Structure 1
Amino acid sequence: MESFIVLVQYFRSLSGSVSLPAISTPTPRLPMDWNENPMLPRFLALLCVLGLVSAQDLQLCTQCIQQSRTWCTETKTCEASTTSCKNGVTVLLNCPRLPDPAYAYNETFARYYMTPIVAGVFAKSPEPCLKAQVPHVAYYKNVHVKCATEMPDVHCYGYTAWDPVEKAVIIAFEGTSTPFQMTDEILSFFVNKVAFFDNGYLFKYFHDAFFFLWNGGLEQQVRTLKYQYPDYKVYITGHSLGASIATITASYLVKWNMWTPENVRLITYGQPRTGDYDFATWHDATFPYAYRIIHHRDPVPHIPPRLGRDKMFHHRYEVWYNNNMAVGKPYTICQEADGDYCSNTVISAESWEHMWYFDRNLGEWGEKGCPSS
């Protein structure tokens, strides 16, 4: 893991964030115009309808960005690119907004419901975790497949379940499990991305991992549960690599019309960047309930770096815990998608925090069956 952290720090230096924790002013760039990206007007219209931002502020922020200038969130003014405002916005997705209150983040749900579900992926069977913490969740089946062609001992794992109380189908994914898998992920950063319909691109490794799982048994499990419980919502979660697979799973399930976006609950832990800016635009316009939980200085959410013309870009919403995540500790719902805000304002070098969520080591807790003490 130490070598991985060195690589993370190198990538972050390339993306210009090594000078943190001081907040740096990002270099402005003009986003695609309206005709080049048809999702943008839909995205903006959705925000206005929901009332999450004022129409005037959104219009001013958008106009400012299209002029290759910087929108200062504190003063709500459009400034030159050399501005020294603390929170400068230079891309549309970073125009500040909060979630629709009807789909607000619920820490109790994340801490006591979704966390034992994701911890279960680290055990030989998730059933002990489910029985100990969420006994009304019924385990269905797991899927374990080889998910890379170039490296040995690279596997992906997930499982499915259902909850008659929540009326939800549940899908959970494991994160990176071996040094070989970490190497494969890092090397694949230099491989071309894969198109996600006409809505941007996905990081090829994560895209391929999803289809290895889907074709390896996950599809049959999900379709069976959907057939048995057609009116259920779907809850999807994952840690690390599994977090990216969770995001891609949610995206395909909606594209394939298996669930409507309003019936998807996506909560991830320590998620790497999964797609590019256009994918993030589509994702934000599609899913009202999607939260990426980040523990303090967890380094993994900062890779792959935001580099190049088609840079990788996080979707909303980041939930940042700038603390040990113990009960009662505060958190921030980040109003921007992916810039020099929230977790990007600290140097990410604490590898242990990648496994430590809600005051527990997810791997150790899951292996022990998620005991209460």
Structure 2
Amino acid sequence: MPASPAAYLLLHLFLRLTAKTCYECLIDGGQFCLENNKCIGNSTEIKCEKSVDLSINCPSVPALQYAYDDEFVRYTVLPVIAAARRPDPQVCLDNQLPTMKAFKRREANCSSLFSDVKCAGYTGYDETRKLIVLSIRGSHGVHQYYDLWKIGNQNGTIPFFDVGRVTKVFHDNFESLWFGGLGEDLHHLIKTYPDFEIWITGYSMGASLALITSAYIALTGMSHPHNMKVILLGCPRCTDYQFAMWHSMNFPYSYHIIHAHDYAPRVPFFDNIDNISLYHPRTEVWYNNEMKEGDGYIICEQADQPFCSSQIQNLSTPDHMHYFNMDITRWADHGCPKNREDFKPIFGTHQRIIFEEEKDSGGPPIKVIAFGLIGGRDADVERKDSATGGAGCPRRSYGCLGASLSIRRAFRSAISSKYFTASGLEARDIRVRTGLFPSSAGMSND
């Protein structure tokens, strides 16, 4: 005899009550399968290609009222971020957001080793939009790069209030800038405009400092997380799991945007000093393309590794330099002109540059191939000569990333001079040619 409708209803109710959510599953020591949204426990008999074993990666997206908007970030937030690079941020704001006014810009020495290492940021306000902005500049100059990657690896993480740990180098940089006047300026604006929304933004290193700043503002009671928008570009990891979880649970509008194979958000992976894995808080927005207008993007349901952009194998310096299909640095240095066309990647993306040395001995030329130099994907530098037998830098090598960046800078001068000298190579006169290839083919027109 078939079961009655009431029996089906009771069975359905029983299954709903006994089905575990992702969080409940993990609390009970299981794993949550993303393929069927079921708790699979620790059984090896049940096959599941993609599963979650950390609560921060339980599937979730921001509520509709906090939804991500490409047009808003591309045309409103990006100028706020770019303006932080300038000593006079109002120039960028006048060209892009004329109702927004820069309040004060602050600089502070943020290195115990170098007097020329400065952290910089500014505050501003917009009475029309009823908002306050705080934007922090990214790293600037080779000494600051040294501080971040060399000194940063030696100092590990430190406690941040009682919500987790942050990397010491970013924490110290935050404190130098905050107590160097930026915090005082923000406090004045909040007191003047108590009902205004607050945007906290930054790019690269500045994004990490902005993330820490947003937490400090909330934890000291200056403003509630629900009154803040946190928008970060190319943000390196700077927090442990506990901090990332706390931030994810308390900031409903917090996005860190990643361009394709940008290397910066993928490092550092681990704090070797304290043996702590580092994590991004929610929510990642991943553009696995050139970030042109109309290009698609993924709102990641998981917070961090091994999902979304963490799955990529090859890292790219050029993807870090270009966001929303623009060279942010050049655009900012020119005052953020209304016409953005001149600041797009020089040759587009998915390309490589061939550097060919003509030896004095008359022998065959040495080819130096900088993959991904102008927006490509591999970020490797490969020596093609008889001495190395075609051997090159290993992928994911920071040395290669640095070499790629150095050649990229030298390439700019080659646009006008046709010849240049690249340090670190045996070459003296290097002829520049371009080779285009589709990203899926991996071949060049040498």
TM-score range, shorter chain: 0.7 to 0.9
Structure richer in helix, relative to its length: 1
TM-score where L is the length of structure 2:
0.68
Greater displacement, 289-298 / 65-74: 65-74
Corresponding letter in the other structure for 1:178: G
Which structure is larger by alpha-carbon Rg, 1 or 2? 2
Within-5 A mapping of 1:61-210:
61-66=22-27, 68-79=29-40, 80=42, 85-187=48-150, 188-210=152-174
Let me know the Cα RMSD of the aligned residues.
1.9
TM-aligned CA distance change 1:84 to 1:268, over 3 Å = farther
Q: Find the residue that maps to 2:84 and give its secondary structure.
A: helix
Q: Find the residue that maps to 2:319 and give its secondary structure.
A: helix
Q: What is the CA deviation profile of residues 188-236 of structure 1, one whole-angstrom value per residue up to 9, with x for unaligned ones?
A: 2231312111111011111111110011111221122112111111111
Corresponding letter in the other structure for 1:160: T
Aligned partners of 2:213, 2:21: CA distance in 1, in Å? 35
2:329 is matched with 363
* Counterpart check, 1:300 vs 2:264: yes
> How far 1:151 sits from its partner (Å)?
3.8
Greater displacement, 275-284 / 118-127: 118-127
> How far 1:340 sits from its partner (Å)?
1.4
Corresponding letter in the other structure for 1:364: R
Corresponding letter in the other structure for 2:94: K
Aligned partners of 2:322, 2:50: CA distance in 1, in Å? 29
2:349 is matched with none
Q: Find the residue that maps to 1:336 and give its secondary structure.
A: coil
> How far 1:61 sits from its partner (Å)?
1.9
Corresponding letter in the other structure for 1:233: E
> How far 1:144 sits from its partner (Å)?
0.8
TM-aligned CA distance change 1:181 to 1:70, over 3 Å = same
**Is the 2:81–2:201 contact (alpha carbons within 8 Å) kept by the matching residues of 1?**
yes
Aligned partners of 1:84, 1:368: CA distance in 2, in Å? 55
**Is the 2:156–2:271 contact (alpha carbons within 8 Å) kept by the matching residues of 1?**
no
Aligned partners of 2:103, 2:17: CA distance in 1, in Å? 49
Specify which of 298, 316, 334 is matched with residue 282 of structure 2: 316
Structure richer in strand, relative to its length: 2
**Is the 2:20–2:38 contact (alpha carbons within 8 Å) kept by the matching residues of 1?**
no
Greater displacement, 58-67 / 227-236: 58-67
TM-score where L is the length of structure 1:
0.81
2:376 is matched with none
Aligned partners of 1:57, 1:185: CA distance in 2, in Å? 49
Aligned partners of 1:134, 1:271: CA distance in 2, in Å? 24
Within-5 A mapping of 1:244-259:
244-259=208-223
2:225 is matched with 261
Q: Find the residue that maps to 1:292 and give its secondary structure.
A: strand
Q: What is the CA deviation profile of residues 24-63 of structure 1, one whole-angstrom value per residue up to 9, with x for unaligned ones?
A: xxxxxxxxxxxxxxxxxxxxxxxxxxxxxxx979943234
> How many corresponding residue pairs?
319
Ranges in structure 1 where 5+ consecutive residues have no aligned partner: 1-54
**Is the 1:144–1:156 contact (alpha carbons within 8 Å) kept by the matching residues of 2?**
yes
Aligned partners of 1:307, 1:123: CA distance in 2, in Å? 32
Corresponding letter in the other structure for 1:85: C
**Is the 1:233–1:259 contact (alpha carbons within 8 Å) kept by the matching residues of 2?**
no
**Is the 2:124–2:132 contact (alpha carbons within 8 Å) kept by the matching residues of 1?**
yes
Specify which of 205, 216, 233 is matched with residue 241 of structure 1: 205
Aligned partners of 2:271, 2:205: CA distance in 1, in Å? 20
Higher relative contact order (CA 8 A, sep 6+): 1
1:216 is matched with 180
Ranges in structure 2 where 5+ consecutive residues have no aligned partner: 1-15, 340-446
- Identity, % of aligned positions: 36
TM-aligned CA distance change 1:348 to 1:239, over 3 Å = farther
TM-aligned CA distance change 1:330 to 1:254, over 3 Å = same
Aligned partners of 2:26, 2:328: CA distance in 1, in Å? 40
